[in-house]
Amino acid sequence: MSSQHLLVSSKDGITTLTINQPQTLNSLSPAILSELAEQVAELQADPAVKVVIITGAGAKAFVAGGDIAAMQPLGPLEAREVVRKAQQLFNAIEFGQKIFIAAINGYALGAGCELALACDIRIAAEGAKLGQPEVKLGIIPGWGGTQRLPRLVGKGKAKELMLTGDMLCATEAKELGLVNQVVPAEQLLDSAWAMAQKIAGKSQSAVRLIKQAVDNGMEMTIDKAFHYEAELFALCFATHDQKEGMQAFLEKRTPTWKDC
């Protein structure tokens, strides 16, 4: 269901979630964060949903950042409470079972960049700008940026971006591995939808296990991660889709997935 600040549409197992506050460049206010957390929880629990596309309304911004006016008067304890809620939401996106694609249609700065970092795949419009400019406000990235950004682009480059507050254009972000694709702005949602369809058409039991293997394995030592991968690989052989997928390959036909 759409809410006051979010637009939600679903078709063929793909849900598009649009942050609909273009007048504030879709900045993440406390109200929007709460609504986004509720929507993400509902989508994670919905068996009909396979892939979620997150984007921003308007042509200027995906999410331009957090709500500075709401944050400015906070004390340390209040600030910690806000940031922990945001971290919990972004963790639910990264470590939940659904695949999330960020369709970055403009500025993705601060909290907006951190939201994109939490998604599994990032597709940017040619005019998009990404960055963590929090240092210019006398603060640090606190919604996951100090941890997710170096895991994607490397420690040195991540420090450079956060210490200077510099923005990246979409092409630079792709060269660093921060985004997967750069496409013309008018093709952004179509490109995100095409990617979502590709993923939604695969065995969802395998899709879920791939996501778990990568996201959880990245937090382990390499030896533990290999053991974890082996356990998830073995788990595939308890599913209908493994039997169906391999049988279909041998019979040279298209598999019929049951996602279990």
Active site residues: 114, 134
Strand 14-19 relative to strand 61-63, pairing: unpaired
Token pair 């991660």 is found at 225
Nearest to 144 by CA among 118, 105, 181: 118
CA diameter of the chain: 65
Within 8 A by CB and 6+ apart from 157, the residues are: 176
Residue pair 19/57 in contact (Cβ under 8 Å)? The answer is yes
Neighbours of 126 (CB within 10 A): 14
Per DSSP, 142 falls in state: -
Question: Which residue type sits at 191?
Answer: S
Tell me how far apart the alpha carbons of residues 76 and 62 are, in angstroms, rounded to a whole number: 28
Considering only CA atoms, which of 52, 47, 98 is closest in space to residue 192?
52
* Alpha carbon distance 22, 165 (integer Å): 23
In angstroms, how far is CA 69 from the centroid of its own chain? 25
Q: At what angle do helices 240-250 and 204-217 cross, to 10 degrees?
A: 110
Please list, residue by residue across 160-169, b when 16 or more beta carbons sit within 10 angstroms of its beta carbon and e when fewer do.
ebbeeeebbb
